[in-house]
Every structure is written in structure tokens, then in C-alpha cells.
Amino acid sequence: MKYYETSHIKNIVLVGGSKSGKTTLAECMMYEGGVINRMGTVEDGNTVSDYHELEIERKNSVTSSVLHTEWRGTKINIIDTPGLDDFVGEVISALRVSDTALLTLNAQNGVEVGTEIAWRYLQKYNKPSIFVVNQVDHSKADFDRTADMAKQQFGDGVIVVQYPYNAGEGFDSIIDVLKMVMYKFPAEGGKPEKLPIPADEKEKAAELHNALVEAAAEHDEELMELYFEKGELDEDEMRKGIRIGMLNRDLFPLFCLTAKRNMGSGRLMGFIGNVAPSAGDMGPETSTEGKEIKPTDKETTLFVFKAANEKHTGSMSFFKVCSGEVQTGMEFININTGARGKLNQLYAVDGKNRHPVDRLAAGDIGATVKFKDTHVNNTLRSVDDGVALDPIVFPEAKIRTAISAVKQNDEEKMAAAINKIASSDPTLKFEYAKELKQNIIHGQGEIHFATVKWQLEHLYGVEVTFSDPRISYRETIQKPAQAGYRHKKQSGGAGQFAEVYLKIAPYSEGMEHPSELKVRETQLVELEWGGILAFHNCIVGGVIDARFMPAILKGIMEVMEEGPLTGSYSRDIAVYVYDGKMHPVDSNEISFKIAGASAFKEAFLNAQPKLLEPVFQVEVLMPEEYMGDVMTDLQNRRAIVEGFNAEGTYQKISARVPLAELNRYSSTLRALTQGRAIYSRRFIEYVQVPHDVQERLVQALQAEPA
């Protein structure tokens, strides 16, 4: 494969709603650039991008695909991303290494939920963007309505560069107001004929042309002066102004095409080649310590943005060359893991197809296989200087579910398979929750989980079921209490004897000790599940030997690991061991552990125990018309609404919601808002469960079989 200099490399990402034609557009661009000799279709399951069995079955993208095409000496790397928000991790990682985004719109439906969601990510990651209105040949296509919706939703920076002359079933012509020409396509698509703009369209085209000229001139003083002087800008001057506007994210060119019939993709690719920022125009990368990494740096830096486990090749690492040049056989150190290795295989990739290459320039995107201990977000450097690039920040999980293998013997196989899937999907987390005694997966939505289930059953041969996850409650106390316990056992031979008296109280930092007790020694235990156990030795007169105190502490800890109220972890308790008895022969560590545990449990139940529940900060972003329904639903979930904010044309509700009330919230929210809302959540604290809820929970939990 040909070697491309940095200035001739353009990295684009295709984003937009499901069914807006991203995969078909990628296929069309590859065909138009001569990389493939025939176009596949999503319906036939033979596109270069959607090659996984699951994608072919579902007929939409589940993972991002790395592709490329060429246009007049420029290499255009394309990353085709899924349209569903359940697979947002694929979109975010692609945005991280792309220089320009193509936001596809369906000409029938205009701005859809997926368009809005994609736009939010483009704003967050500050990417130059081009709008592409696709499927203008559909009988229900309405380009003007779609363009107006885009301007209304995303601002006046959306500026028309092209519009269809005859949208609908007879579509075959596009009017370009940058070049001021009409392109008429043959019935089979492909290279168009250039014609003058029809007389009945000249006024509209001139009006749009002037708007484009003014938008281009606005972003450069020199161009503005030229515009005032001449009253016009030539094509090269307009390109310069548009490019500056795109880099500043003040201007968003809008094109039209029908990818399925290959009408309009060549002009779009020409615009990308001539105007869109190159890989060297986007400014330097930054390291975690603030160091700038420039494409022109001598040292080679690779950033791994995607990983995959392919059936025939094993683990693949996809990277962007952020500085220097990478060549086959170069040695690298993984700055994040310390692993060293030689890059024996270097590829340019088109979906499942790999093309061996000898070298790639800064800005290019490539892949390698089986590079030791390498994962998403890793930095590979040709020098061992500790410079790691800023990582991709993936969103927190939105939902969780318990998962188990249908056949108990498959549990280990299931865990290994999920871990393998998660190694290439950073938005999927898997854990065995010891406290809940469940395997838990955390992800972005129910469709996300459905794809995990499909992979487990079809690729790994493990049949699984989902169930509601338990809630990780915490137990603590509200008032002091005391208790004693005598453990005595005689069964022939050596006996067991221990007697322990203790007092407990709610723990708080800097708390005062009971005045009647003298604390001789204190041990603060930071509990791994959160909170503190303050263990105080108040024994006087040697009634309990010091060597038995660790056994008493161990017994108390065992009770705290399965609290007396519901079996949940206990926390934030101060324990004062103040009296007891021992036997010169029969006392031992096991006896004092049993006595300490039993005394603590009795005191705990007499200390007005309370149950704490995890509370999450929830932020919901939605169009204003859905606020009432979303608010009502949150209030029914025991939410405490903390505020409202406007974010562009959207409203954001911030609320504190108990985790117990968030089960299946993503599905409910999707139904309430017709899929137009998104939400995020993060754990903030444990708070006391309302008394009536606590009573209900205790009864239910205690009724469960052991």
C-alpha cells in the first residue's frame, strides 16, 4: 500500500442515528475511491464495515470499523460507528483519533434522536463537523425540512453547500453553491455531468452562495477585507474561510447525497480532501503531565484507541500514530504497562481485511496483532521516557444486571468469556460481587447487554440468564448499647471458655469516649467496603489477656461482614471491650472470637440499627417538552431533585436517586421521551433508608432462603 505524508492524511468519523446510512456511505466512499470494486449492502450483509456475524444478523453496526479510501492523492481514514447510544464507547474512542466528523441525517426523518445524541458528543469533544443529508432519493425525502431542522437545532453555523435539485424518487441532480454548478448523475450513479444551474434555481442558488461567502469571510480578517473590497470571494478563498470556520467549530458545511446509488459521494470526498483539516492541523496531543506531543516530533508515539478479539487473528490493537513514523520491526515500550515488544506486523485495515504495510506517517491509523499486554488507552513509545497520552474517558455505566450461566459448570467459562469481551469494550464492566453473591455486569443499556448475551451464546458456547441485581445496603447503629456473652463448651478433653462484655456506639471522627471507660489502646480499621470500625481495649486488671484481643476483633469483623439486620456489610461503629473472664486452661482464641461476635451481635440489635442505601447523582438531558413526565417518574423513585439547567436547546435535571429505584430506568426513560433523553449516574453516598422501606426490606431479606 502507498505511503502517505501527514499533510495528505484525513481522519474522519461517521456518526449519526441508526439507519441514517453511515455504513452505506462508508461503502460508497471506498467504492468511489477505488478501494473496492463493488458496493455491498447492509440488507445483503456484505459490506466491508459491518462484517461481524451479529451485525449481519441485526443489520446495523455494533462496533466501530476502521476503513480507508483515497481521493486524488489523499488518504481518507474512515471510522464507521454504531448509531445506538448503547455503544457510545465505540463513538467516543473514534472521536478521540479523528480530525473531522461526518454527521449523517436521514432525509426522510430529519434530525432524529441519534442525531441529537451524536451532536452532544461532537460538542463535548470539539470536533470540526460536516452535515451529510443522505437518502435524498427516497419518496418521502424532504431536504429543506431537514436542513431547517439542523439549523434550528444546531445553530446558524450550519450552512448549506449543496441541495438536491429534484429530491425524491426521480433524484439525479445536485446544485453546489460553492462551485455554483449543477451535477447531474447517470442512472447507475458515479461520475456526474457538470451543467449550468437551471434558470428557475439561480435565485435560490445565488442566495445560498452569498450566505456561504459571508460565513466563510467571517472567520478571517484578511478574507473579510477582501470580501468588502470585491463583494465576492473566489473558490480558493472560500475554502480557506470555511476551513478556518470548521477548525473554530463556528461553521458546519451541509452536503446532500444518496450513498446507496453513489450520487454525491465524490464531491463530498473532494471537499474532505481540499478543505477538511488534515491530521497535522489539529494541534498537538498532550500527555498526562501536560507535555505536548507534536506530529513532527522525532520520537514515535502510538495511541491505542481500540482493541478487538478476532476469531482467526486473536487480539488486535488499533492505534493512531501521534508523532514520528512507525515502521515494521520497530521496538516499543508500553508506557502504561511497562511491556516491551517489537512491532513485527503492521497493517492498514478495512473492516476484517488487513493490508500489510512497511511504515505509517504521523497522523495515520494502523493496527497490529498480539502486541504483548496492550489495551485501549495505552501509549506505545519508541523511547522509555514515561510519556503517556491523555486517556479516553469512557462514560460510567448506566445500568447493571446479574448474570449467571444456565449450567453451573459453565460459570468459570462464562467469567473468562465476559472478561475477554470487556477487554475490547471499556464501557462493559464485570465483577463478582462478594457482598451480593452475584456476578454483575455494568453497561450502557439493555441492547448493550443483549449483544453481550449473543456473543456469549454464539461465540463462546455459554448459555446465560439475566436477573435483577441485589442492592449493596449497609448497616449501622443510631445509639449506644452494651451486651455480654459467655461461651462455655465441655465435651471431653479440653473445653472452651470465654466471657466478653462490650459497649458499642455510632462512630464519628473526633467522638468522645464514654466517661466511665478508660481506653488503653485503640485500633482504627478502615473497612474495605467503606466506613470505620474503631476497636477500643478498655480492659483493666488483666481479666482478658491482651493476646485474646485480636480474636475478639476478628469475631466482630466476621459479624460486620454479614450484618445482624439483613446480612449486609456494617460500618461506622465504635466498640469498647471493657470486661470479661478467661480460664487458665480452657480459654483460647476460638472461644474469644465466638464470645466477641455473639456479644457484638446482641449489642448491635439493641442499638437501634438502621439500614443505609447507596444513592446516585443522576443527570437527565432531554427536550423541554418531556420534563414533566421525567420529573413525575423521578419523584415516584424517591428522588430528591436538586436543580434544573438549560444546555443549549435541552433541559437537564439533576437529582439524587436511590440505586434501588434505578432498576430498568434506561428503558423507562426511553419510553417516556421516545428515546430523546440520555442520562448519566455516579455514586455519591450512603443515606438512611426510610423507616417503612427498612421494615419492608428487613422482612423480605430475612425471608429469603439462606
456 plus 501 within the same structural domain: no
The dihedral built from the CA positions of residue 214, 215, 221 and 223, taken in this order, carries a sign that is negative
Report phi then psi at 334, rounded to 5. Answer: -80, 110
pLDDT of residue 312: 66
49 plus 160 within the same structural domain: yes
Which regions of the chain are under pLDDT 50? none
pLDDT of residue 331: 96
Contacts of 513 (CB under 8 A, 6+ apart): 519, 536, 576
Q: Report the candidate in 125, 131, 8, 150 with the shortest Cα–Cα distance to residue 71.
A: 8
The span from the CA of 344 to the CA of 552, in Å, is 59
pLDDT of residue 310: 75
550 plus 697 within the same structural domain: no
What DSSP line would sit under 264-282, residue for residue?
SHHHHHHHHHHTS--TTSS
Largest CA distance in the chain: 113
689 plus 568 within the same structural domain: no
**Amino acid type, 452:** V
What is the number of structural domains in the chain?
A: 5
C-alpha Rg value of the chain to the nearest Å: 32
In 193-287, which residue ranges form alpha helices assigned H by DSSP? 202-217, 221-230, 235-247, 265-274
The span from the CA of 156 to the CA of 150, in Å, is 9
CATH of the domain at 140: 3.40.50.300
Provide the grid cell at 169.
424518487
pTM for the structure as a whole? 0.88
Residue 536 lies in a domain: yes
Report phi then psi at 240, rounded to 5. Answer: -60, -45
136 plus 12 within the same structural domain: yes
For the stretch 83-133, pLDDT in tens is 988 999 999 999 999 999 999 999 999 988 888 888 988 988 899 999 999
Residue position matching grid coordinates 496483532 = 369
The number of beta carbons lying within 10 Å of the beta carbon of residue 295 is 24
**Strand spans (E) along 8-134:** 9-16, 65-71, 74-80, 100-106, 129-134
Q: How far is CA 243 from CA 191, 377, 462, 509, in A?
A: 25, 30, 51, 59
Report phi then psi at 400, rounded to 5. Answer: -145, 160
For the stretch 371-391, pLDDT in tens is 888 999 999 999 999 999 999
pLDDT of residue 71: 94
The helix-helix angle for 221-230 and 235-247 (nearest 10°) equals 150
Cβ contact 17:6 at 8 Å: no
- Name the 3-class secondary structure at 567: coil
603 plus 626 within the same structural domain: no
pLDDT of residue 698: 84
Provide the grid cell at 606.
439493641
CATH of the domain at 376: 2.40.30.10
> Which residue range(s) make up the domain with 686?
612-703
The number of beta carbons lying within 10 Å of the beta carbon of residue 644 is 12
- Residues β-bridged to residue 52: none
Phi-psi region of 638 (alpha: psi -120 to 50; beta: other; left: phi over 0): left
377 plus 422 within the same structural domain: no
Domain boundary among 439, 467, 495: 467
User: Distance between alpha carbon 534 and the CA centroid of its chain, in Å?
Assistant: 39
CATH of the domain at 666: 3.30.70.240
Average pLDDT score over the chain: 93
555 plus 449 within the same structural domain: no
564 plus 590 within the same structural domain: yes
CATH of the domain at 577: 3.30.230.10
Report phi then psi at 167, rounded to 5. Answer: -60, 150
pLDDT of residue 1: 78
459 plus 488 within the same structural domain: no
269 plus 290 within the same structural domain: no
CATH of the domain at 459: 3.30.70.870
**Strand spans (E) along 583-649:** 609-623, 640-647
Q: Report the candidate in 377, 352, 401 with the shortest Cα–Cα distance to residue 47.
A: 352
User: Distance between alpha carbon 646 and the CA centroid of its chain, in Å?
Assistant: 23
pLDDT of residue 76: 97
Residue 684 lies in a domain: yes
Residue 163 lies in a domain: yes
Residue 393 lies in a domain: no
Residue 226 lies in a domain: no
pLDDT of residue 40: 93
Residue 438 lies in a domain: yes
Contacts of 368 (CB under 8 A, 6+ apart): 316, 317, 319, 343, 344, 345, 346, 347
The span from the CA of 156 to the CA of 152, in Å, is 8
Domain boundary among 467, 492, 517: 467
**Strand spans (E) along 311-375:** 314-323, 325-327, 331-334, 340-342, 347-350, 353-356, 359-361, 365-369
Residue 219 lies in a domain: no
Burial of 449 (0-12, 13-18, 19+ CB in 10 A): buried
The number of beta carbons lying within 10 Å of the beta carbon of residue 579 is 18
Residue 218 lies in a domain: no
411 plus 367 within the same structural domain: no
Q: What's the DSSP call for residue 386?
A: -
pLDDT of residue 492: 66
pLDDT of residue 232: 85
Provide the grid cell at 320.
493512531
Domain boundary among 419, 434, 467: 467
